[in-house]
Structure 1
Amino acid sequence: MKKVLIITYYWPPAGGPGVQRWLKFVKYLPEFDVEPIVYIPENPHYPIQDTSLMAEIPQGVPIYKYKIFEPYRLAGLLSSKKTKRISSGIIKTKDPSVLEKAMLWIRGNFFIPDARKFWVGPSVKFLSELIVKEQIETIITTGPPHSVHLIGQQLKEKHNVKWVTDFRDPWTSIGYHKKLRLSAVSQKKHKKLERSVLNAADQLIVTSETTKKEFEQITNKPIAVITNGYDTGFKGKVDIDKSFTIAHVGSLLTGRNPENLWRALSQLASENAVFRNELQLDFLGVVSQDVMESLNRYELMPYVKLKGYVSHAQAVRRQQGAQVLLLVEIDSEETAGIIPGKIFEYMAAKRPILAIGPKNWEVRNLINETQTGEVFDYKSTTQLKNVLLDWFKAYKKGALTVNSKNIEKYSRKELTRKLAQNL
């Protein structure tokens, strides 16, 4: 059995979609003759935690830890609320405070590629001994944080190992990168590090075709697309909501504000008393201020239920019971290749998906291929309104369903099979 060292910052009790990808790969790799060995920080700063995921860590998997210096802990002494928001990816675009501007500038220009850079040196020293001790043949680094890839690059230089990089998100082209107030010098440093990593790795893994095409302009190294997937483990039965619920599971971060949806819902509620009486909007996770302001402006607050962050198990259960599942991405060219991990669990829930995102969003291909819902850009209102009304009529008849197809290849086990072929 091949030994593979997996270097990841996010691991239970971290919450959110980033941790689930490699938690599930580790679960299934032994079935494909791969023995995973996991390396994680000893004292990480996780802005979101989900202790229920601890129970999903496979028994017997070797897990090594080494302490990390976290600048976010120091920043939290100035403002814990602002620090948590920035480290979670919520960056205010309207009227940021002087402190927030300063924190973003420091984050972007002093901590390159990111604030976890101080884990690189100590980890290389610690893992160099481990590679020899465990006779490890292959190492995998997964980012963000992309500083984790620098650990892999230095280990590759010191040892005769195969190095596989997994990019859950792009590096310099990701949406929030432009909001970090980078100087021209800092931008060049990021680009240089990105190019260096992409060309030093033996194998690249990305989560979308868009990112693959982007990286092919930088490197000739082999690139495999392995999306996120579903592995809900849900065996129970959930009754579908009696109300016409539109549920969004996960954080609605800055910029994910589909005003055309709020406008369509507001018009339907104004025009149709039955719709108005049965509409419910459920938000599970952090909701940014710009979204809240829009909901209030379109007089939708009476229909809103803010449930805050819930465990992954609770999220899966909620997906099963909602009438409609909402998926939203920022409306920009940079986000066209972002495929939110929750879409695959949405597919597994077999409830209609209402997706709103950029014009050439790769999600459109996924939803069309699997016949699991409808996709709109931010300019559609009339067509969006018509679909909502059609779904509402089907809901009233007890016939709002989806007849999905081709979703089995997105199961975590099948995706792990694909991963093992690239190791």
Structure 2
Amino acid sequence: MKKVLIVCYYWPPAGGPGVQRWLKFVKYLPEFDIEPIVFVPKNANYPIIDDSLLKEIPKNIRVIKQNIFEPYGLAAIFSKKKTNRISSGIIPKHEKQSVIERLFLWIRGNFFIPDARKYWVKPSVKTLSKLIKEENIQTVVTTGPPHSVQLIGLKLKSKFNLNWVADFRDPWTSIGYHKKLKLTEYSQQKHKILEKQVLNFADKVLVTSKATKQEFEHITSKPIEVITNGYDGLKIETTLDKSFTISHIGSLLTDRNPVLLWEVLKELCDSHQAFKKVLQIQLIGVIGDGVKESLAQYGLCDVVFDRGYVSHSEVLTLQAKSQVLLLLEIDAAETQGIIPGKLFEYLNARRPILALGPINWEAGAMVEETKSGASFTPKDKLGLKNVLLKWFNAYQKGELILNSEGIENYSRRELTRKLAKSISWESS
């Protein structure tokens, strides 16, 4: 078997979408004659914990851990809740930020470049340099964000004649929350310089969307391959909710607040008593204050079921039981290439997906192409209302079902097959 070193920050017991991609790749790589050696932080300050994911780590996989110092731990002395929210990418609008939040953001953006995990780079390079020599490792994969992980790959590449694959689960300088970090001009330029160095020194770049590939092609001529996120396992067979449940899985940031949807649901409740009687809005994960305010404004609080964070295994069951699954993205040009990881598990749940996002949204196009639901911009009120009524009528008849196509291409095993070929190409 070929040994491949995989360096990542998010690893069980970390919860949330960031941990899923490489946890699943690692699970299937041995089937393709690749032995993954995983390198992760030992005492990371994860904003979300999901102990159930520890059971999903393959028993035959070697996991090496290195202590990490994170300033978020010190900042939490002043406000643990606010620190965790910022660490998770949940940044309130400027006018609603407290003095402490504004200070944290400014310090985070300008003192910790590319991010607050930067102090993990130097000790990790030292530990991994010894490992690479002892194990004769020829291929290293780094995955971000956090993008400080990419700097580990950059430094290892400068020391050894190895194949370095830089995996980007999200863009770097173009992602939405990057603009909210109150960066000085110097800090902005430093981010771009580091981004350019990583993209040009890596032997291959992996991205999760076509839009990110197109963006990076303006920065580097190195090979860039799209390997999306995916779903794992078979469809969960369960009884559907009796209510007309519209479920959103994951953090619902204020910037993703689907105001038009709340408006449409309010109008449908006012005009259709049968609709109002069975509607349930199920929110699973952290909810932004602006979202809560909008739900109250449209009088929908009585039909909202706020579950908070639940384990990944429970999420799979809840989304399989839902009548409709809600997929949201910020309405902006820079989010057109964002494909939320939850989309693929939505696809596997085989429940109708209601997607609301920017025009030319890549994720919305995937929903339409696989016949897994309907996609709208946040301005298409008539289309949104019509499809909700159509689905509600089908629900009343017990006929709200899907005949989706091609979702097997997004299974974790098939995606790992593609990854294995990509890594083998690097070593040829």
The question of whether the paired residues in 1 share the 8 Å contact of 2:365 and 2:375 is answered with no
Matches within 5 A, 1:24-423: 24-93=24-93, 94-232=95-233, 237-423=237-423
Extract unaligned runs of 5+ from structure 1. Answer: none
Please give the alpha-carbon distance, in whole angstroms, between the structure 1 residues aligned to 2:255 and 2:388: 23
- CA separation in 2, counterparts of 1:402 and 1:146? 38
Residue 292 of structure 1 and its aligned partner are, at CA, apart by 0.4
Aligned residue for 2:287, secondary structure, equals: coil
The alignment yields a C-alpha RMSD, in angstroms, of 0.8
Offset of residue 332 of structure 1: 1.1
Deviations 1:33-80, CA, capped at 9 Å, x for gaps: 110000000110100011111001001211111101110000000111
CA distance in 1, matches of 2:349, 2:134: 44
- The one-letter amino acid of 2:288's match is S
- Distance in 1, Cα, partners of 2:87 & 2:253: 12
Summarize the Cα distance change of 1:379–1:14 in structure 2 as closer, same or farther, 3 Å threshold.
Answer: same
List structure 1 segments (4+ residues) > 3 angstroms apart after TM superposition: 232-235
1:193 maps to amino acid: L
SS in 2 for 1:142: strand
Q: Helix, strand or coil: the match of 1:79? A: helix
Deviation at 1:232, TM superposition (A): 3.8
Q: Which runs of 5+ in 2 are unaligned?
A: 424-428
Q: TM-score, normalised by structure 2?
A: 0.98
What is the identity, as a one-letter code, of the residue corresponding to 1:271?
S
C-alpha separation in 2, matches of 1:24 and 1:227: 12
Q: CA shift at 1:368, angstroms?
A: 1.6
Assess if the C-alpha contact under 8 Å between 1:232 and 1:345 holds in 2.
Answer: no
Checking the alignment, whether the CA contact within 8 Å between 1:234 and 1:316 is kept in structure 2 is no
Check conservation: 1:116, 1:145, Cα contact below 8 A.
yes
The one-letter amino acid paired with 2:372 is T
Cα drift, residue 233 of structure 1: 5.1
Instruction: Give the fraction of aligned pairs with identical amino acids, expressed as a percent.
Output: 61
- How many pairs align? 422
1:75-129 CA-partner distances (Å, limit 9, x unpaired):
0001111101101111010321111111000000000000000000010011000
2:244 and 2:280 in contact (8 A); partners too: yes
Which amino acid in the other structure matches residue 286 of structure 2?
A: V
Partner Cα separation in structure 2 for residue 233 and residue 390 of structure 1: 28
Question: Are the aligned partners of 2:29 and 2:36 in contact in 1 as well (CA < 8 Å)?
Answer: yes
Give distance in 2, aligned partners of 1:62 and 1:350.
35
Alignment partners' CA distance in 2, 1:264 and 1:254: 18
User: Which residue in 1 is equivalent to 2:426?
Assistant: none
Secondary structure of the residue that 1:360 maps to in structure 2? coil
> After alignment, is 64-73 or 91-100 more displaced?
91-100
Q: How far apart are the structure 1 equivalents of 2:109 and 2:135?
A: 37
Contact 1:326–1:353, Cα closer than 8 Å, also in 2: yes
Query: When the two structures are superposed, what TM-score results if normalisation uses the length of structure 1?
Result: 0.99
Q: CA deviation at 1:234?
A: 5.6
